[in-house]
Structure 1
Amino acid sequence: MKRSEKAERIVALLDELYPTTPIPLDHTDPYTLLVAVLLSAQCTDERVNRTTPALFARAGDPASMAQVPVDEIRELIRPCGLSPQKSRAISVLSQRLVDEFDGQVPADFAALESLPGVGHKTASVVMSQAFGVPAFPVDTHIHRLATRWGLSNGSSVERTERDLKALFERERWNALHLQIIFFGREHCPARGHDLDACPICSWAATKARKEAERKAGTVGRIPKRGASRAR
């Protein structure tokens, strides 16, 4: 089956399973989304959503957050892990937003990626979910499933993003990104997954892929994105 044929069938199934695509990270504006995405690095969305209410009650905008001591931010976000790095990034990017962007999150990829702690994946999430700009953020779920389904060769995150953007219509990218994440969590886990029983892997994954995963007992981790910062 050609990749384009797989893509068409996958879209039809995901539209049936997930006709609506709520954003998993709780937020009220682009800034709180940006911070939540930064916190989600190596952390579950559920834990981020349990952590951010206290953080945003303390400071819910760049100007307020820039005034909070880094040590206090670190204590507030400790449950999300990597708190020393994340607290410094939140503090510095908040001050940068005040100094360089009038306290507003810029709707621009290059400007977002210039902020500390913000890589291409995070910028893509903010651009798509906060500003409605078509983007295809590639996280662990997206990369794993695109490889399993034969939509990309899995050689790099950049390659997966390029392949998916070429396969799917631009206006579908934002919703499809979330639909694939939801499907991965519900039907297509990284470990202990029966590809033959999966609603998509059963027909989209090659025999070689199925055999390789059976022998390995798991799927490989997501490769690092070049020299980009995490998330």
Structure 2
Amino acid sequence: MTKTLRTKKARSARADAIGALLDEYYPTTPVPLDHSDAYTLLVAVLLSAQCTDKRVNMVTPDLFAMADNPFDMARLQVDQIQHAIRSCGLAPTKAKNIHALSHLLIEEFDGEVPGTLKELTKLPGVGRKTAQVVLSQWFDVPSFPVDTHIHRLAERWGLSKAKNVRQTEEDLRALFPESTWNARHLQIIFYGREYCPARGHDLASCPICKAIEAGEL
């Protein structure tokens, strides 16, 4: 486990170096969830909780064939939605939330997905992380969504010693330039999957951790 650096200056220097490596490894950051507009992205992100992006992308074609907008989704029964997403974790709760948020979008936002954090987090099942993913990936609003994977890597790399994702988000926002936030959160996710997993982590095959261990970062 990497010790958190004592000074902000040291953490900033390491963050800059990590950022340069992430830019080298992932110069482009494609959105991993298939979608066609803000609504389908919102639903896909909601489905991704405790579910892999690969699984979500397998599920959403059938779901969106039935309803790819809040008006059609609101006309479905919750059981129909649940059946379409049954292979995703927490399917019963997600189905209820998708149905309910579709109704709320119609009632309060004329069927349009709002573009602010405050409005998005009013929607059933939409927390801060989900809202920020939509803001960053569709509306291009500078955001730093932090999930458990980013939280884990921030601690492993000594960038944060926060006990929760909300504080980790604040720590990372302070370390990385705002102009990089939207790319950084995806780069960190991609890097974690490829080189720095929670289990079976091989230091020799992880360039960032290897460089930290050697005192190069």
Task: Tell me the TM-score normalised to structure 2 length.
Answer: 0.92
Alpha-carbon shift at residue 154 of structure 1 (Å): 3.4
What is residue 159 of structure 2 aligned with on the other side? 151
Query: 1:197 Cα deviation (Å)?
Result: 4.1
Structure 1 residues 70-149: aligned runs within 5 Å: 70-149=78-157
Determine the structure 1 residue equivalent to 2:207. 199
Equivalent positions of 1:1-231 (< 5 A) are 2-204=10-212
The superposition leaves residues 177-214 of structure 1 with CA deviations (integer Å, 9 ceiling, x where unpaired) of 1111100000000012123542001233699xxxxxxx
- How far residue 71 of structure 1 moved from its aligned partner, in angstroms, is 0.5
* Alpha-carbon separation, structure 1, partners of 2:139 and 2:165: 23
Q: Distance in 1 between matches of 2:87 and 2:116?
A: 30
Structure 2 unaligned spans of 5+: none
Deviation digits for residues 11-70 of structure 1, max 9, x if unmatched? 111111111000000000000000000000100000000000000010000011000011
Asked whether the 8 Å contact 1:148–1:205 carries over to 2, the reply is: no
* Residue identity (%): 63
> Aligned pairs, how many?
207
Contact between 2:162 and 2:168, CA under 8 Å: does it hold in 1?
yes
Extract structure 1 runs of 4+ deviating beyond 4 A.
Answer: none
Q: Which amino acid counterpart does residue 114 of structure 2 have in structure 1?
A: P
The offset of 1:77, in angstroms, is 0.5
Q: Write out per-residue CA displacement over residues 92-121 of structure 1, whole angstroms, 9 at most, x where no aligned residue.
A: 000000010000000010111011100000
Q: What is the alpha-carbon root mean square deviation over aligned residues?
A: 1.4
SS of 1:48's equivalent in the other structure is helix
Paired with 2:11 and 2:105, the residues of 1 have a C-alpha distance of 42
- In structure 2, the partner of 1:220 is none
Verify the 8 A CA contact 1:151 1:163 in the aligned structure 2.
Answer: yes
- Cα 1:15–1:70 shift into 2, 3 Å: same
2:195–2:205: 8 Å Cα contact kept in structure 1? no
Q: Secondary structure at the match of 2:173?
A: helix
Higher mean alpha-carbon deviation, 198-207 vs 24-33, is at 198-207
